[in-house]
Amino acid sequence: MERQRINVLSDKLLEYQSLVLRKYFNITFIQSIMQEIFKLLIGVAFLILAFPIGDILARKTKEELKEGKRWFKIIVYASLFGGIAGMLIRDDVLMFSFFFMALVTSRSLRKA
């Protein structure tokens, strides 16, 4: 009788532990998804800022853009390559940094 009572109690304890663990992991999973979404929104906001920054640079550096057009194209291609590499290795900071450089440089080239 005592052994049966211990088995019932241990089963209830295991059931409670699994319930607590499922609840804990579910909350942390949702939190990690929200953190990823927040990081992506910040990255997209900085990419949107690349457009006016590229326009400002194009107005301020017209002479440099005319002389070094070839080098700016190389920077654009290298930045696109770096952004794709950052995407493949799943490094958000690297990806957004390189895409930001590519957008600013290509935007300033287009306005020159």
Which stretch of DSSP H or E encloses residue 38? helix 2-60
Tens-binned pLDDT, residue by residue, of the chain (112 aa) = 566 666 666 666 667 666 665 666 666 767 778 888 888 899 999 999 999 999 998 888 888 878 888 898 999 999 999 999 999 998 888 999 999 999 999 988 887 6
CA distance 84 to 68: 25
Give dist(CA 90, CA 76) in Å, integer: 21
Instruction: Locate the domains of the chain by residue range.
Output: 2-111
62 with 55: CB under 8 angstroms?
Answer: no
